[in-house]
Amino acid sequence: MSCFVEIDGSYLEGGGQALRNALTLSVILNRPVRVVKIRANRPKPGLSHQHLHGVNLLRDISNAEVNGNTLHSTELTFTPRTIAGTMYKVDTRTAASITLIYQMVMPVLLFSGTSSRIDVTGGTNVSFAPQVEYMQQVLQPNLKRFGVSFDLKVLHHGFYPRGNGRCMLDLEPLRSLNAVQLNDFGQFRSVKGAAYYAGRLPKCIAFDMQHSAEREIHRLWPDHECNIQVFKHPPDRARDNGAGIILTALTSTGCVVGAATVGEKNIDGHLIGSNASCELAGYIKNEICVDTHMQDQLIIYMALASGCSRIRAGALTKHTRTAIYVAEQMAGVKFIIEYGNFGQTLISCEGIGQRNAYM
Ligand SMILES: Nc1ncnc2c1ncn2[C@@H]1O[C@H](COP(=O)(O)OP(=O)(O)OP(=O)(O)O)[C@@H](O)[C@H]1O
C-alpha cells in the first residue's frame, strides 16, 4: 500500500492552492503526499514558476525527497524529513507572486526551532494573489490572533510582467497556534487605505481611485472616518509601471477586513476605486469578520490550532472549499459550515493542536 496521502489538484477550484496547502501540511504533519492533476482547471495546467519555486523552497526547508518538481508538471510526490528554519533566498526571475510563496512556507516555519528570514524576488502586486500590503494590513492582524508574529518588509515593488520586486519576511517560531473566535463584528469604526502608482503612470490614476473609493464610503457612512492616502513609489523602489488600491475596514472588536485590487492594462482608476470600495462596503453592511480572500487563507491555521476556531465569513468561496478539502484529507479535521442571513457563513473547526517538535 502507498504511504502517500493523495490530493486531487483538480478538485473544485483546481488552482495552485490545493498544491500549496497539501505540501505545507505534508511538512508540518510529516506525512508524504502525492498531488495529482495539479492546476487542472487553469488554462496552462501544471506547475508555474510561482508553484515550482514554492515547492523547491519547501523541499529545502524540509530536506524532502521530491519527484515531479519541474515546470508544467501535473503530478508530484513529496516526502518531508525535517523543518529547518534559517535564512532562505529565492529569485523567481519572473513576476511570480511573492506572497503566494510566503503563503506556502509561513505555516511550516512557525513549527521550526529558530527564527527564519525568507528573501524573495518576484511580483509584489500582481493579480489573483494577495498584494504585499494586504499581507501586512489584513493577514498580519488576523494571524496575530493565532499567535503568529511576522514582519514583512518590501525592499522593491514589482509588477506584472517583469517582476523585480523584493521582500524580506522575518518570522518567529511558536509552540502551538491559538484557536480564534472571529465571529463578533462589533461596530464599524473606520476605513483606511492607500492608492499607489509607480513608473511612468500618471498620478491622476491614483487620485481617481482615491476619490471614487472615498465617495462611496462617505455616501454610505458620512460620519465615519475614511482616510485613503495617495502615494507614488519612488523610482528606486519601483522601476516599472504599476497601480492599485488597498482598503481596510476596522471594527470595535478588532476585526480587519480588506479589499485590494491591482490595476491591469488600460487602468481605469475610478473603476478600481469603486470596485474595491463596493466590495468593502458589502463586508461592513453584512458584518462580515473575515473577507472573501482571508477565508481560504485561515483554513490551514484553524486546522492546526489548539481548540475550536470560529470565523464569520460571507459566501464560501471555491478556494475555501478547496482548502477545507485538503485540510480534512491531510490533518483528519472536520470543518462545520453554518449558513446565516445575507449569505453569511460561520466556519468552525476543532484544530488538531499541532505542537512544535523543535521547541
Ligand atoms: N485580491 C486579492 N486579495 C487578497 N488575496 C487574494 C486576492 N486575489 C487572490 N487572493 C488569494 O490568492 C490565492 C490564490 O490562489 P490560487 O490557487 O487561485 O492561485 P495560484 O496558486 O496562483 O494558482 P493559479 O495560477 O492556479 O490560479 C488565494 O489564497 C486567494 O485568496
Distances 305 to 76, 96, 191, 203 between C-alpha atoms, Å? 28, 30, 30, 44
pLDDT (0 to 100) of residue 33: 98
Report CA(53)–ligand 1 centroid distance (Å): 16
User: Which residues have CB under 6 Å of ligand 1?
Assistant: 15-17, 39, 42, 50, 100, 128-130, 134, 260, 293, 296-297, 319
User: Which atom of ligand 1 is nearest the CA belonging to 262?
Assistant: 1
Verify whether residue 157 is a known catalytic residue. no
Binding site, annotated residues for ATP: 103, 293-297
Please tell me the distance from the alpha carbon of residue 27 to that of residue 25, in angstroms, as a whole number: 5
Nearest CA to ligand 1 atom 12: 129
- pTM reported for the whole predicted model: 0.97
- Domains (ranges, CATH) in the chain? 5-178 (3.65.10.20), 188-285 (3.30.360.20), 290-359 (3.30.110)
3-class DSSP state of 91? strand
Binding site, annotated residues: 103, 293-297
pLDDT (0 to 100) of residue 13: 85
Report CA(49)–ligand 1 centroid distance (Å): 14
| 31 contacts 59 by C-beta, under 8 angstroms | no
pLDDT (0 to 100) of residue 171: 97
Please tell me the distance from the alpha carbon of residue 344 to that of residue 299, in angstroms, as a whole number: 17
| 247 contacts 213 by C-beta, under 8 angstroms | yes
Q: What is the DSSP string of 132-178?
A: HHHIIIIIHHHHHTTT--EEEEEEEB-BTTTB-EEEEEEE---S-PB
- Residue 125, amino acid: N
Please tell me the distance from the alpha carbon of residue 236 to that of residue 164, in angstroms, as a whole number: 12
Report CA(126)–ligand 1 centroid distance (Å): 10
- How does pLDDT run along the chain (359 residues), one tens digit per residue? 569 999 999 999 889 999 999 999 999 999 999 999 999 999 999 999 999 999 999 999 999 999 999 999 999 999 999 999 999 999 999 999 999 999 999 999 999 999 999 999 999 999 999 999 999 999 999 999 999 999 999 999 999 999 999 999 999 999 999 999 999 999 999 999 999 999 999 999 999 999 999 999 999 999 999 999 999 999 999 999 999 999 999 999 999 999 999 998 788 999 999 999 999 999 999 999 999 999 999 999 999 999 999 999 999 999 999 999 999 999 999 999 999 888 899 999 999 999 999 99
